[in-house]
Amino acid sequence: MAKMNLLQAVNNALDIAMQDNERVICFGEDVGVFGGVFRATSHLQEKYGRDRCFNTPLVEQGIIGFANGLASQGSVPVAEIQFADYIFPAFDQIVNESAKFRYRSGNLFDVGGLTIRTPYGGGIAGGHYHSQSPEAYFAHTPGLKIVVPRNPHQAKGLLLASIRDPNPVVFFEPKRIYRASVGEVPEEDYQLPLGKAEVVREGSDITLLAWGAQMEYIEKAAELADKDGISCELIDLRTILPWDVDTVAESVKKTGRLLISHEAPLTGGFAGEIATTIQDQCFLYLESPIARVAGLDVPYPLALEKEYIPDQWKIYEAIKASVNF
Amino acid sequence: MSTQANRAIHKPQFIRGDALQIPTYKVLKQDGNLYKNAQMPDIDEALAQRIYRAMARTRMLDERGLASQRQGRLSFYMQSTGEEAVTVGFAAALDDQDMIMAQYREQGALVYRGFTLDEFMNQLFSNAKDHGKGRQMPIHYGSSELHYMTISSPLATQIPQATGYAYGQKMAGDGHCTVAVFGEGAASEGDFHAALNMASVLKVPVIFLCRNNGYAISTPSSEQFAGDGIAPRALGYGMHTIRIDGNDILAVLEATREARKIAVEQNEPVLIEAMSYRLAAHSSSDDPSGYRSKKEEAKWRDKDPLERMKNWMIQQDWWSEEQDKELFEAERQLVMAAMKKAEKVPAPHPDEMITDVYDTPTPHLEQQLAELKGHIQRYPEVYPKAAAALGYKEGE
């Protein structure tokens, strides 16, 4: 075990993946010598050479188009989009190409080797172009897998699994806790399963569901609720697509209540999808309406960032409202 | 700074946008004679026959394809009439294992590589034997065996993918290259510019082959771009470029061979702009009489690339008018026979709805398929094909 922050865990996973398979190739804007603007690819060029870790021109649609072609050739590209806010020029390549490559060719060709890494989320005074959480746009696209880790241990295991998964994966990294989240991480190679949620704390009164950086807020809210004698069960969804309905439904059947929290705006957010499915599966078990604590339906604000964030206090209030319904 | 900033000027002298005019490489005249000073490429009778026969098959495929659409047998078709010298000729200049990432009007390359008429027809009829499992509209062919990437409708997406594919080939060191084919309309897309820039910067063995056929559906090239076509754009990206007569099979063959040499020997990208004309409509859903004149079409019909190659082959004593007539008739019959056969093959099984979304179907896809099957079982008369495939009878 070693103490690592989330960035070091990502860097360590990339290092292991490149060491393990010479077809793994990392690229994106500033990822070469500089090691990325957040340093997630530090020292990889030094270690594996310019052919396997390099800067690209500043063109997101080109980076993902290139990555799709490289993956279809049999290589294992790990493409970085510097901020999730800048993934949209590549939306066509991801939605129309990566996601449909295998299906449209009847499995003659696929881009299963592709992983797209991108830092997402707010809380870093980044305004609306360095703070977005665009996971729901991609969740509407069959053929993609979408993964979001909550801490360094999870980041390493889930990233290694994403790189080796035979399907294209969009891996969203919670940049607010890149350095703040520190924990024990095994030094060896390990993988955590995709498509599986994790119950991180058992409880009996209400299920709190979140992913990525938002896990920190539901944990703090659960501590506040503890003092009121409310027992919260906490689940980290980990994979947004395809998501683990069974683990969530099983928990809700036990607690009778569900609160989902995400940083992205409420309307069209992934909580809506979860709420509908759980309502369908657990209708007779529910003791209160499924609660959503999300961002406001506004572009991510700068000066009012603190007010925008669905923090532990907003979640705590929603827990009380649900339990007292 | 890698720009050539060594020569300074001290007055604001602009370089005009039309300062550079790129010439067109031509070898073969319409009457079958070579231009004076033109070099005959290395081509023997066997290769000439293979190329010409592929061009003839392509034309017959297109003739019957459109006719069948008009008869209501096919839902959709796209002809490549008038552009066969480009689409067959470039494939003839490649190694058969070089990757082709085409747009949608390059059936000639597939014919040349040996995609069978049955394979064409199974795709066109979206039947159970289609490699693509009946998932895409007609003409979206693909073959991993023939190194021909499955066609994707969104324009220009294959161009940066070709850059990436070629990077992988360079890393593998297998001596192969990738060819991205696209129209002059698609060259307006951002993906085109992204692809060229990345290919030049990353030094990959890729050939960008632009079929400048004058039209993007109804939009003439005069409303698509200003300036001297597509070829000069490559220079802006520091890339080798050439413009060729796309109706001249010998020019296509020689230019593509030279481009391939640059790509695989120097790991550098090349752009070829092949000037041609889309004699056919954009697709079976299009009617060109609304946007161009019969006179203009006639001018280009006189430059027919098949006629030109035939004239040259007759001069070489490799071909005759009688052989020509027989070939076209034989090809027409073969195409029609393959069509009849493919029409009888059933539609893909309903289970194929959920395969290949992921490498294996996820539990939620299995569940959705089970629900769909339950519904089909309750309403077999509404979904007769699927009900038959699943063995659900009416009244069950």
Judged by CB atoms within 8 Å, which residues 77-106 of B form the interface with A? Answer: 99, 101
Answer for the pair B201, B166: CB distance below 8 angstroms, yes or no: no
Query: Residue B396 pLDDT > 50, yes or no?
Result: no
d(CA B143, CA B367): 31
Residues of chain A with CATH 3.40.50.920: 198-323
Amino acid at A12: N
List of chain A residues whose C-beta atoms are within 8 Å of the C-beta of residue B135: 103-104, 106
The Cα–Cα gap between A148 and B42 comes to 57
Residue B3 pLDDT greater than 90, yes or no: no
- Say if residues B199 and B240 touch (Cβ distance below 8 Å): no
Q: Read off the pLDDT band of B22 (50, 70, 90).
A: very high
**Confidence label for B23 from pLDDT (cuts 50, 70 and 90):** very high
Structural domain spans, chain B: 24-285+292-343, 350-390
CA distances from A324 to A227, A257, A279, A318, B164 (A): 15, 11, 19, 10, 57
Chain B residue with the nearest C-alpha to that of A107 = B356
A43 is catalytic: no
Give the CATH number of domain A2-185: 3.40.50.970
ipTM: 0.97
Q: How far is C-alpha A95 from the geometric centre of its chain's CA atoms?
A: 17
Res B2 pLDDT > 80: no
Residue reference for tokens 């998964």: A165
* pLDDT of B5 higher than 90: no
Determine which helix (DSSP H) or strand (DSSP E) holds B1, and give its type and residue range.
none
Determine if the peptide bond prior to B12 is cis (ω within 30°).
Answer: no
Structural element, H or E, at residue A320: helix A312-323
B275/B300 Cα distance (integer angstroms)? 11
pLDDT tens-place string over residues A8-36? 999 999 999 999 999 999 999 999 999 99
In Å, how far from its chain's centre is CA A298? 21
pLDDT of residue B393: 82
DSSP letter string, B26-59: --B-TTSPBPTTPPPPS--HHHHHHHHHHHHHHH
Q: Per mean pLDDT, which range of A135-139, A196-200, B358-362, B392-396 is the poorest?
A: B392-396
Which of B356, B360, B369 would you mutate first to test chain A, the one with the most A CBs within 10 A?
B356
Task: Tell me if the pTM is above 0.90.
Answer: yes
Most A CBs within 10 A among B101, B119, B357, B369, hence the mutation to make, goes to B357
Best mutation target among B97, B139, B358, B366 (most A Cβ atoms within 10 Å) is B358
The answer to whether residue B311 neighbours chain A at the CB level (below 8 Å) is no
Residue A268 backbone class (left: φ over 0; alpha: ψ -120 to 50; beta: rest):
left
Q: Residue B6 has what pLDDT? A: 75
Answer whether A92 touches B (CB < 8 Å): yes
Residue with tokens 């194929």: B352
User: How far B163 CA lies from chain A's nearest CA (Å)?
Assistant: 6
Chain A neighbors of B128, CB-CB under 8 A:
none
Q: Which residues of chain A have pLDDT under 70?
A: none
Instruction: Kindly calculate the radius of gyration of chain A based on its CA atoms and give it in whole angstroms.
Output: 19
The closest CB to that of B164, out of A68, A110, A143, belongs to A68
pLDDT tens figures, A298-311: 999 999 999 999 99
Nearest CA among B204, B149, B205 for reference residue B182: B149
Residue B64 has pLDDT above 50, yes or no: yes
Could you write out the DSSP letters of every residue in B145-206?
TTTBPPP-SSTTTHHHHHHHHHHHHHHHT-S--EEEEEETTGGGSHHHHHHHHHHHHHT--E
- In this prediction, residue B7 carries a pLDDT of 87
At B64, give phi and psi (nearest 5°): -75, -35
pLDDT tens for B256-298 read 999 999 999 999 999 999 999 999 999 999 999 999 999 999 9
For residue A92 the two structure tokens come to: 């066509």
For the stretch B308-344, pLDDT in tens is 999 999 999 999 999 999 999 999 999 999 999 999 9
Q: Shortest CA distance to A237 belongs to which of A268, A265, A258?
A: A258
Distance CA B379, CA B382 (A): 6
Any B CB within 8 A of A214 CB: no
Among B307, B321, B253, B243, smallest CA distance to B275 is for: B243
Ranges for all domains in chain A classified under CATH 3.40.50.970:
2-185
| E-strand stretches of A237-277 | 239-241, 258-265
Tokens of B99: 């990757």
Two structure tokens written together for A184: 């024990």
Whether A74 has its CB under 8 Å from any CB of chain B: the answer is yes
Domain at A198-323: CATH code: 3.40.50.920
| In chain A, beta strands by DSSP E | 2-5, 24-28, 53-55, 76-80, 115-120, 145-147, 169-174, 182-185, 198-201, 206-210, 232-236, 239-241, 258-265, 291-295
Q: What is the mean pLDDT of chain B?
A: 96
| Catalytic annotation present for A130 | yes
| Average pLDDT estimate for B228-249 | 98
Taking the domain B24-285+292-343, which CATH number applies? 3.40.50.970
The model's confidence at residue B4, banded by pLDDT at 50, 70 and 90, is low
Rounded CA gap, B348 and B389, in Å?
9
Closest CA to A208 of A255, A154, A242: A255
Q: How far apart are CA B334 and CA A277, in angstroms?
A: 53
With CA atoms as reference, the chain B residue closest to A114 would be B164
How far is CA A127 from its chain centroid?
20
Distant-in-sequence, close-in-space partners of A229: CB < 8 Å, separation ≥ 6: none
Q: Could you tell me the two tokens for A41?
A: 């690819």
